[in-house]
Structure 1
């Protein structure tokens, strides 16, 4: 505590710092609570989407296995090459409680039979079903990428806010309170010492006055009122 000046001005300063730190802690707690609510909203959506993706993925793999087992391999391979194309997505952003999260803007991957690029006469309904199921899977994957990224960023922000709250609550505020207590105790101790010195001086003065009066009495000097 050597660096802390035990003055009333310093005590007022420490009390103001404690109040400010407590306000900051409370605001961070409120923000963290709001972030946690948003996090669990997205988590519920992600959990449902993952379950749906798991079902769609199994259905797509099964459709491919059936098509591979029953259709001409050359036709199946030609159809897969015909449908191969890049997927263009636009990424913008939005804020959730001050946390930037991505928003993926895209065109729907799922297409009609005529849009897929292969001849509908040479292919079977099984190939059409396989293509359709994988297109749905891609749509859901892109949607899931957006929500999972938002969830990860919210989670990181929650952790950072928790560390800040803990730092304020467990380190800074206790340290400021300890300094304020030290200053208060030092001031009170100094005041007690000052009071003791004043009482001692007063006692000495009283003794001196008493001696003077006694001396005057002995000398027969009458004190005037």
Structure 2
């Protein structure tokens, strides 16, 4: 065990350390509050987006099954191959209390029937229906990608800040004040 030196300068030094630890704890609490606020904003977006994604996924699968039943798998596979086009995307980030939060902006996913790569007069109505459903699904999916990644990062940082605050409150600060009480 460390021996305590009961001098005035030692007492003042320990008081300064206790104040310094308290200030650090308060800063971490402010950081955690900002992160929780941002997490709540992203969480609402994520939950509503997941519900929309689920609904669009069910609808797209229903239309695909219907198209396969009516047209067969070959015309749909052929249409999927001819419709392969690129989508532009831009990933940006901003910082919230030292944590990078991502935002994804993407180009137009939905295209008009002539822009899909097949002749509208020769293609089945079901092919257009399936293409539209999956374009809507992809649009929802892209909207959700960056939100989910940001929510995961924010949750990790909130947990880390909470551990740090608890460590300062329950271990470091009581250790400083206990030594102060013994040195008096």
TM range (shorter): over 0.9
Q: What is the alpha-carbon distance in structure 2 between the residues aligned to residue 140 and residue 96 of structure 1?
A: 25
Aligned to 1:215: none
Aligned to 1:195: none
Q: What is the alpha-carbon distance in structure 2 between the residues aligned to residue 17 and residue 110 of structure 1?
A: 60
Aligned to 2:67: 67
Aligned to 2:7: 7
Partner SS, residue 90 of structure 1: strand
Indicate yes or no: 2:120 matched with 1:120. yes
Superposed, 1:18-167 pairs within 5 Å as 18-167=18-167
Mind listing any 5+ residue stretches in structure 2 that lack a counterpart?
none
Structure 1 position 30, deviation (Å): 2.0
Higher relative contact order (CA closer than 8 Å, sequence separation 6+): 2
Aligned to 1:17: 17
Q: What is the alpha-carbon distance in structure 1 between the residues aligned to residue 2 and residue 26 of structure 2?
A: 30
Structure 1 position 34, deviation (Å): 2.2
Q: What is the alpha-carbon distance in structure 1 between the residues aligned to residue 26 and residue 137 of structure 2?
A: 44
Structure 1 position 57, deviation (Å): 0.3
Partner SS, residue 45 of structure 2: helix
Q: Spell out, residue by residue over 1:65-100, the C-alpha distance to the aligned partner (whole angstroms, 9 max, x if none).
A: 111111143322211111123444232211123211
Q: What is the alpha-carbon distance in structure 1 between the residues aligned to residue 2 and residue 76 of structure 2?
A: 82
Query: Residue 75 of structure 1 contacts residue 122 of structure 1 at CA under 8 Å; is this kept in 2?
Result: no
Mind listing any 5+ residue stretches in structure 1 that lack a counterpart?
185-225
Q: RMSD of the TM alignment (CA)?
A: 1.5
Aligned to 2:177: 177
> CA distance change for structure 1 residues 4 and 83 in 2, over 3 Å: closer, same or farther?
farther
Q: What is the alpha-carbon distance in structure 1 between the residues aligned to residue 15 and residue 28 of structure 2?
A: 20
Aligned length: 184
Q: Spell out, residue by residue over 1:46-68, the C-alpha distance to the aligned partner (whole angstroms, 9 max, x if none).
A: 00000000000000000001111
Name whichever of 168-177 and 118-127 sits farther off.
118-127
Q: What is the alpha-carbon distance in structure 1 between the residues aligned to residue 74 and residue 178 of structure 2?
A: 80
Structure 1 position 181, deviation (Å): 1.4
Query: Residue 28 of structure 1 contacts residue 161 of structure 1 at CA under 8 Å; is this kept in 2?
Result: yes
Q: What is the alpha-carbon distance in structure 2 between the residues aligned to residue 137 and residue 83 of structure 1?
A: 15
